[in-house]
Every structure is written in C-alpha cells, then in structure tokens.
Amino acid sequence: MTDATYFVLLNANAGTADSVGVTAEMIGSLFAANGLTAIVDADSERDLTTRIESAMASEASIIVAAGGDGTITALAAALVGSDKSLAILPLGTVNALAKDLQIPLDLPAAVAALTTGTHRRIDVGEVNGRVFLHKVVVGLIPELAAGREHIRGRYDLSAKIGFLRYFFRRLMRAKRIAVAIEHDDGGRRVERVQAIAVASNAYDEGVGQFFSRHRLDGGTLTLYILRHLTAGDFFRLTTGMLLGHWKSDEALSMETVKGVTIDAHKPMLNVMFDGEIETLRTPLAFTIRPQALSVIVPAPTTVPAEAA
C-alpha cells in the first residue's frame, strides 16, 4: 500500500518503545526506506485524545498506532464508523491484537509489512458505549493485575518475587462476588463468581495458545465465568492452556451471546479493560458491533505451487 498516506501516533512510553528507545526519527526513516509517506506524531506533551483528534482531522487514510494495547484501543474507538483504517506497529508489552492479526512484532518487519498490507474488517465490543477490542474482566483478575502496575518498568528479581507473593496472597484471600447476568433475550440470573470476562469473539483452544483468537469477525461476544480460583485451579488452568484443553475445566463456563448486561450491588466496579485497570459504572451493558473497524493486516502468505 505504497500509495497511501500514514499518520503515525507514537507512544514512546509503551513497553517495547521505552526499552528500545524508539523515536519519531527512527520510525520516519523506516517508512521512507519502504517508500511510504508518513506523518509521525511523537508529542507526548499533548494528551492522547487531542493527538487522536489531530490524526482524524488529517488527510491520511491510515492511522497507525505505534504503541501498546491501550494506545491501539483508544485509537480504534475514534476510527470505528469512519472512512479511515487502523494500522499497528506493536510496541507494547502484550501486543494482543497484533498477535491475533499476525502482525510482525519486530518494528522494521511491521513497517515493511505495510507495503503489501490488505484491509480487513473486524468486530469491536462495546461496554456502556465504550469500544474494546479484546475483553473486559470483572472480579479477582483486575485486582491481581493492579499488583502488576506497582512493578511496571522494573525487571529486577526482587520486583518479580514481590509480585508473586502479592499474587498468591490475594488468591488465598479472594472472595466471590455476586453478579446479575441478563442476556439480550431477557433471561436473567444471579451468579457468585470469582471473575467474569466478556470477550469480543472467542479465544482459541490449542497447545501453547494463551488468549489468542483466529476469528475476529464472528459477530458474537463470549462470556467466560470463573466460579472459583484456588491455587490448584490456577495451576490446573495454566497447565490446561499449555496442553490445549482449558475450555473443559470444571471451574470455568462459557456462553456465546450477542449482548449481555452485568450488574452488581456496587455502583462502580474495577475492571480490566483491554489490559488496563479502569473503573466503570454499573450496570455494564455489553454489545458487539460486527465488522465495525477496518484494519491493515499483512498480505496472506501464498504457498508455492510445487509445495502445494
């Protein structure tokens, strides 16, 4: 797609970008080396919302999120329903959507892939009108993830040991929460859960596959209900993911829905929103918007005739 104009939003504070020292000059050089025209915005002094507004107002047909999952989700929310497409340079720690879309995690390779990239439309989830691309989690998991924030950017052994101690201490003390689950068809029930997640489409089951999706345009949400999570449950589920049979675990149940509402006694709930900890007002009303977002993905790999 060498004839397109790209507007790159660089989050230099994202995990990989920060550790490697990615700069606007570096990205500009990579685009130029591949014959691509790009405007690079690396102005971290301005808030992300303002920067996204500038990108949307530009003449560029493709807006590039050069950052982690939080940057990608924020930009995607603005792009939904527009005539512009999202491209990704994965510079975060997890890079979940980039992996699902098979975008190279190496920066030079990711830029080079844009030259032959193709448009693909994917679903987005919404909760209380806010767009998410992966999943929203309520319950124990956001509490455990909050502990991760205290060691973000630290790679020393003491930080890792401290997080493990925090993790298992919280696990042992965790209490189930009562949530009301109402489907879009009107069915309603109350469950006591350790955690509940709503994902856009469904996660795959296979050897070594951790929260990966090959189908991003199925037009459904998947409700994952974790009714209990002891240390034994945790190790069994983790082993199941490694071996490719976690969906059959007795602690977990799954439902495919078009829409669902989750309510609790609390007016506000801490959630993990595409990997970031946020607070949302209850009830949480989830819907799916089929193929609402245009993304640029690497061209399909062709198999040589003699190898077919």
pLDDT at 155 over 60: no
CATH pick for 5-116 out of 3.40.50.300, 3.40.50.1980, 3.40.50.10330, 3.30.70.980: 3.40.50.10330
Burial (0-12, 13-18, 19+ Cβ within 10 Å), 306: exposed
Q: What is the three-class DSSP state of 51?
A: helix
44: tokens are 């971290």
Q: Give me the pLDDT at residue 151, please.
A: 44
pLDDT at 172 over 70: no
**Radius of gyration for the alpha carbons in the chain, expressed in angstroms and rounded:** 20
- What is the DSSP code (8-state) at residue 251? T
pLDDT at 263 over 60: yes
Q: What angle do CA 170, 171, 175 make, to 5 degrees?
A: 90
For 197-210, what is each residue's pLDDT tens digit?
Answer: 999 999 998 776 76
For 105-139, what is each residue's pLDDT tens digit?
Answer: 999 999 999 999 999 999 999 999 999 999 999 98
- Maximum Cα–Cα distance for the chain, whole Å? 63
CATH 2.60.200.40 domain extents, the chain? 131-291
Q: Give me the pLDDT at residue 86, please.
A: 98
Mean pLDDT of 224-234: 82
The segment with the largest mean pLDDT, out of 2-6, 35-39, 224-228, 234-238, is 35-39
Average pLDDT, the chain: 86
Q: What is the three-class DSSP state of 10?
A: strand
Mean pLDDT of 285-298: 97
CATH 3.40.50.10330 domain extents, the chain? 5-116
Closest listed residue to residue 152, CA positions, set 219, 94, 192, 223: 94
pLDDT at 248 over 90: no
Peptide linkage before 283 cis (omega within 30 of 0) = yes
Predicted confidence band at 307 (pLDDT cuts at 50, 70, 90)?
very low
More reliable by pLDDT, 270 or 80: 80
Rounded to two decimals, what is the model's pTM?
A: 0.85
Q: What is the per-residue DSSP string for 50-115?
A: HHHHHHHHSS-SEEEEEE-HHHHHHHHHHHTTSS-EEEEEE-SSS-HHHHHTT--SSHHHHHHHGG
- Range of weakest confidence among 28-37, 244-253, 275-284, 291-300: 244-253
More reliable by pLDDT, 290 or 231: 290
Under a CB-based contact definition with an 8 Å cutoff, are residues 277 and 306 in contact? Answer: no
CATH pick for 131-291 out of 1.10.600.10, 3.20.20.70, 3.40.50.300, 2.60.200.40: 2.60.200.40
Burial (0-12, 13-18, 19+ Cβ within 10 Å), 98: buried
